[in-house]
Structure 1
Amino acid sequence: MDLVAPVVVEPLRRRRCSECHQGPLERMIVEFNATVCLDCADLGHLVFLRRGHTALTRRAREGSSLWAVVVRHNRRRTRYERQGLLVEEEALAAAEAACLADAEARARRRARDASRRARRDAEITATLEREILRLFPGCPGERAAEIAAHAATKGSGRVGRTAAGRALDRGAVTAAVRAAVRHVDTDYDALLMAGVPRHQARTTIAPAVEAVLRAWRTE
């Protein structure tokens, strides 16, 4: 048998119950063109659940033996629009508990996923650091660690996050080291701030970069 839920209206103007004459009514139903309050309609024991939380709404509706749809007329759109549901208080409490359990489970899963990603990121960084020291054994350990951490920052699009970087391609690793030397060990940034075009600035500081790389290639 198909279920037909009662429709409860939030009136736009003051109304009184045609049976008990209480008012103004926050919510009402219309029976035979007459306004009836929720108590007289035997819906007064239900509690309002505003729309917006799909899972909570579904669970509360499924757990409630009696429920009603709440609507309000939108004058601009000339139509009635759903505002939420009236459900049994016990059903709403059970639905809230179930959704809270789901939220806690999702939070635990997100924490586990974050932990796995952090371990993976640490592995990528450590592997890149070892490769930097293999290619440039004269590079100070702290610089190698800084370069690896910078190049492997997640979401940065830098060398360490590219396929070539993860595969420890020699050219990609060298590019990461060269970029670090360019910014830290030369006047490259100052030249850019002075308005020198990028390609000209790179040409100017290229000898200094290569001198550092040659020194780092030997122990």
Structure 2
Amino acid sequence: MPTEDGADKPKDLLVIESTRDFTCADCGTAYDRGRLLTMDDAGPLCLACADLAHLEFLARGDTALTRRARKHSTLSAVVVRWSSRRRRYERQGILAEPDAIEKAEQECLADADARERRRIREAVRRDEQDTAFVDELAAAIRAQFPACPADRATRIARHAGERSSGRIGRTAAGRALDPDAVRLAVVASVRHEDTDYDELLMGGVARFDARDRVRPAIDAVLDRWESGIIGP
């Protein structure tokens, strides 16, 4: 690939993880499979003879760490291994200067610390937003149902607005405190807490049939809460 000045970008130095025993073409040392080598016109070279023995292996898996290590290393090489199943060389990692790898690790750790601090800040902000919404929804419930006990209104609001729950409080209408959405949240709470709806479901009654059976009880509670009559 041409660079900005028009010259071709130099290719990566390749180091091969051997899949068979080999003998260095320069020093004549025999090596077992799994050792690293480079290929020269004369044949395979061990890392010492290829002047790469001072480099340290960094396994693949962390893209940011690899990128930074290569940036900080004056000399680096890509390590590959032949896959007989896929019939191709596959990247295993890189060789880079130890100081460069250490510097890259420090930078990545600093990034991880920053991400953790950001995650904590965002969690706190979400909690504050959720608390504010629960208060707003509880107030809307009390405005629509004046006789609903304050602690019950808060409990309904907290349940309806639970993050990632998919409940009415997480819908656009719920977040906008739409009266119909507020009513649905209250109805859902009354259905489960003030009627035998759950027992009917456990007894095998179909959901819609169970809802029809408990509707009068729900309406009775809602009427009391709407009219200002203190009740459950």
TM-score category (smaller protein)? over 0.9
AA at the equivalent of 1:183: H
User: For residues 124-146 of structure 1, what are the alpha-carbon distances to aligned partners after superposition, in whole Å with 9 as ceiling and x for unaligned?
Assistant: 11100111112112112221111
Residue 144 of structure 2: aligned partner: 135
Residue 219 of structure 2: aligned partner: 210
Q: Over the residues paired in the alignment, what is the CA RMSD in angstroms?
A: 1.4
Residue 105 of structure 1: aligned partner: 114
2:184 counterpart of 1:168: no
User: For residues 65-119 of structure 1, what are the alpha-carbon distances to aligned partners after superposition, in whole Å with 9 as ceiling and x for unaligned?
Assistant: 1111111111112111111110001111111111111111111111111111111
1:50-65 correspondence to structure 2 within 5 Å: 50-65=59-74
For the 8 Å contact 2:21–2:30, the answer to whether it is kept is: no
Distance, in Å, in 2 between the alignment partners of 1:195 and 1:92 is: 63
User: For residues 163-212 of structure 1, what are the alpha-carbon distances to aligned partners after superposition, in whole Å with 9 as ceiling and x for unaligned?
Assistant: 21122111111111111001111011111111112222111111111111
TM-score (norm 2): 0.89
Residue 40 of structure 1: aligned partner: 49
2:24 counterpart of 1:17: yes
Distance, in Å, in 2 between the alignment partners of 1:108 and 1:161 is: 26
1:39 Cα deviation from its structure 2 partner: 0.9
5+ residue gaps, structure 2, are: 1-6
TM-score (norm 1): 0.95
1:82-97 correspondence to structure 2 within 5 Å: 82-97=91-106
Distance, in Å, in 2 between the alignment partners of 1:131 and 1:3 is: 67
Q: Kindly, what percent of the aligned residue pairs are identical? A: 51
AA at the equivalent of 2:81: R
For the 8 Å contact 2:21–2:31, the answer to whether it is kept is: yes
Distance, in Å, in 2 between the alignment partners of 1:160 and 1:182 is: 17
Q: Which moved more, 1:92-101 or 1:196-205?
A: 196-205
Deviating runs (4+, > 3 A) in structure 1?
none
5+ residue gaps, structure 1, are: none
2:129 counterpart of 1:123: no
Distance, in Å, in 2 between the alignment partners of 1:13 and 1:125 is: 66
1:4 Cα deviation from its structure 2 partner: 3.3
Distance, in Å, in 1 between the alignment partners of 2:171 and 2:195 is: 26
Distance, in Å, in 2 between the alignment partners of 1:207 and 1:115 is: 42
Distance, in Å, in 1 between the alignment partners of 2:144 and 2:204 is: 34
1:34 Cα deviation from its structure 2 partner: 1.6
Residue among 148, 151, 158 paired with 1:149:
158
> What is the aligned length?
219
2:77 counterpart of 1:76: no
Residue among 1, 4, 7 paired with 2:11:
4
Distance, in Å, in 1 between the alignment partners of 2:187 and 2:14 is: 70
